[in-house]
Chains A and B, each alone.
Chain A
């Protein structure tokens, strides 16, 4: 606080900043202030009138004024902030616990990792280790089967790395802790499953609106409602089309092996910071539990600190994480900005995996674990002499239409395989429609309720069409 009170300066008022609330009148012990009788032409309000002959500079009126630029001491220059020296907090409060960043934009660095044996991990663990290698040290979550084991591993490891695992009071709280930590510019993560993901959607909308990065791993389970804990893929619609209210999109990644759980989680952090947007990883209950071989990457990411972060230091002091824009033109502008970002993501981040698609007449489309059943079915169909192939979207939003289109000329039948009532198929149809392509006939193999399409069902469908079409 400025200490220039010894002279007891008298109050000063610029009438246009007075709303005439009269709280100063009550406060003044010497009746120096009276209600104004003239309406200020700028504000339409009646500012108070000061009569300072009796004033002894007690400043009680100033303390009663709710306006920052209302009643002020005469010494203060109007409309200009005081120059003052900040006291050095290090001297005031002792040594700092962590170094405060001084630079505004601290780039990430990549530290080489020694060569390791391949690990043998279940999908949720692989994702957790992928996050650790991406520099994530902040995990917020709420227990929900079948995703919890990833969070449990983080709860065990993070405290030993000076990180934080917080079991929040709910998924609603968890996503907002991510809003905070992500807004501070640190990589953060949650593990959840379908009902919990539903609860996080509001927060994801805020994160998208405020451009806060964060990675959401949703191990999808059977629904609707409480459903069951078996694997399903019925949150594709939510992740691709329903991330809370408003104009929202996020990259949606669909791994199909423990290896991809690690790699895509690791990559998700980079994408999340690159685009300042949440990234959603959709797994299924099988994938979360499935154990397989996982090779570790060559480097570990040591995250920097972006210039936009609300960190709590001088370099980042003027930053704001915020999704409210009261003026319509401002909010329209922000939406245009988001749309440009979505278009960039759509143009640059489509990913897919093509298996024996080069001459495929029967093209199976599947993601996550059902893509593996489909791969088995494709291989079996090839053994029957059928030209089958698998198109596996790795990004569900954006749908990898650019890789699908070149495959289509030889395709006589599309078969979408999924553990949902057509949510993947809808994404594909929408992408085809936007591309203006009349696709080959589309059929599907669908299971629900915690059951996945089986290889035999997919194979039967392929063979059936082969018979019909030949």
Chain B
């Protein structure tokens, strides 16, 4: 059978008998499931396209035998690995081959979540009611009363009842085909062969996720002869795990994916990059606050617009040819709690983006003013919203204090939410770090998709400037 390697060179380097014998114990059901799978792959003509994910468990060495693409997964993660392969190459026919410990215990989250996603994958679940590789411990599918290495007195009530995976998977919305089959006699073997082929066919045709549970024999750990184990599966397992089709939906092929795009225009457009525009003519660095690096803190409650204003400043400064950074800091109580932003604008490079001693503080509420005003560098500027904060006390000496009713001005314009733009206008007039045109250009660029908002924002900015200039005139 050509889907099996001519010689099993991965099995002890193919030396001696291991070149043609499996590592499975005499009478093990895995060998039969392997044959069925190999026949189905062969019959469907998909050997070149097949990627087989082997689990941790006795089938960990499936790649010794199958001449297909092979990937060996961590314990329980075969469906996740399979999904990765399927999304990498939707043309691949990906099979997740797993045992009961792998699929129904440690990998249950992957099993269920990927079944529910319902992408075309084929999951072959070999259920022999016991852990084989680790030496005969209790499996999630062990029967009640079954003695195992970790249930020496038999599976008891407190260990829970055997998990019926086919039924569980069938009741999910994702899968299109779920069947439980067995291998204990010729008739069952024919059904198993057909089910496995059908589960592959569903994937090949892009119809969806298919799951076949195979009741298999583990003579070694059941401590029975192979024929006795066949009988045990028939008489003991089958009543607990009824055979048959659990789900078989008629679904048109739906899974279609084109090749990923690497078109530069598409990538840049989606990333939000703009074609190289004209650089604003450079204005000389304003040295009155700091020789080359100005720190600004904007602080308020969540919703005051401190972050938006901070980002506008940052963008405007970068457009002006400076380096600039913005670090937002939201309190843990981010809804309505404190929200403050550190902005740096530097002639060369921003060294430290934090602003523990800002040159300018823009405070939208009393707690922000109380908290940050004492940190403002000597000779710095403190602007605050005098609509919200009345008669603040404890402001440090040696700083210019600029009270401006941002909220009132914004309300007079009909939209209190533009108070942050009012504040930016006021700050521009007082501090004059960036030219007004630079901030307004940035504002227009940010709002390019919402032109209706431009007049309001322009007015807010101008009103803030005027209020600051009026204050300056009266001072």
A residues neighboring B (CB under 8 Å): 1, 14, 16-17, 19-23, 25-27, 42-43, 45, 60, 63-69, 79-84, 86-89, 92-93, 96-100, 111-120, 129, 132-133, 135, 137-138, 140, 156-157, 160-164, 166, 168-170, 172-174, 176-186, 188, 202-203, 206, 210, 228, 286, 289-293, 296, 300-302, 310-314, 316-324, 326-327, 369, 372-373, 375-377, 379, 452, 454-456
Using CB atoms, name the residue of chain A closest to B277. Answer: A117
Q: Give complex CA distance A452, B219 in Å.
A: 61
Say what secondary structure dominates the interface of chain B.
mixed
Residue from A100, A112, A161, A455 having most chain B Cβ neighbours under 10 A = A161
Using CB atoms, name the residue of chain B closest to A93. Answer: B204
B20, chain A: closest CB distance, angstroms? 4
Q: Give complex CA distance A14, B19 in Å.
A: 13
A374, chain B: closest CB distance, angstroms? 8
Q: Give complex CA distance A8, B205 in Å.
A: 32
Using CB atoms, name the residue of chain B closest to A315. Answer: B48
Q: Give complex CA distance A185, B22 in Å.
A: 29
Q: Is the CB of B261 within 8 A of A116?
A: no
Q: Is the CB of A98 within 8 A of B89?
A: yes
Q: Are A291 and B6 CB-contacts (below 8 A) given A63-B186, A115-B275? A: no
14 further interface pairs, Cβ-Cβ under 8 Å (given A113-B268, A322-B72): A1-B39, A45-B26, A68-B35, A98-B257, A116-B268, A135-B262, A137-B260, A160-B270, A169-B112, A177-B83, A184-B92, A292-B323, A372-B351, A373-B352
Q: Give complex CA distance A293, B344 in Å.
A: 12
B266 at interface by CB-CB < 8 Å: yes
Using CB atoms, name the residue of chain B closest to A100. Answer: B91
A sample of 15 cross-chain residue pairs with beta-carbon separation below 8 angstroms, ordered by A number, consists of A21-B27, A26-B227, A43-B21, A66-B22, A68-B20, A79-B6, A96-B91, A97-B206, A114-B264, A140-B84, A161-B260, A176-B84, A181-B87, A312-B85, A372-B352
User: Within the complex, which residue of B205, B274, B332 is in contact with A116, where a contact is CB–CB below 8 Å?
Assistant: B274
Q: Are A452 and B354 CB-contacts (below 8 A) given A116-B273, A179-B73, A206-B74? A: yes
Q: Is the CB of B73 within 8 A of A80?
A: no
Residues on B with C-beta less than 8 A from A66 are 22, 24, 27-32, 34-35
Q: Are A286 and B45 CB-contacts (below 8 A) given A133-B267, A176-B77? A: no
Using CB atoms, name the residue of chain A closest to B53. Answer: A180
Q: Give complex CA distance A421, B350 in Å.
A: 27
Residues on A with C-beta less than 8 A from B438 are none
Residues on A with C-beta less than 8 A from B2 are 81-84
A127, chain B: closest CB distance, angstroms? 12
Q: Is the CB of A97 within 8 A of B90?
A: yes
Stretch of B153-161, B297-305, B310-318 with 4 or more beta carbons under 8 angstroms from chain A: B310-318
Q: Using an 8 Å CB-CB cutoff, how does the interface string of B117-155 with A read, 1 for contact, 0 for none?
A: 000000000000000000000000000000000000000
Using CB atoms, name the residue of chain B closest to A452. Answer: B354
Q: Using an 8 Å CB-CB cutoff, how does the interface string of B93-120 with A read, 1 for contact, 0 for none?
A: 1100000000000000110111000000
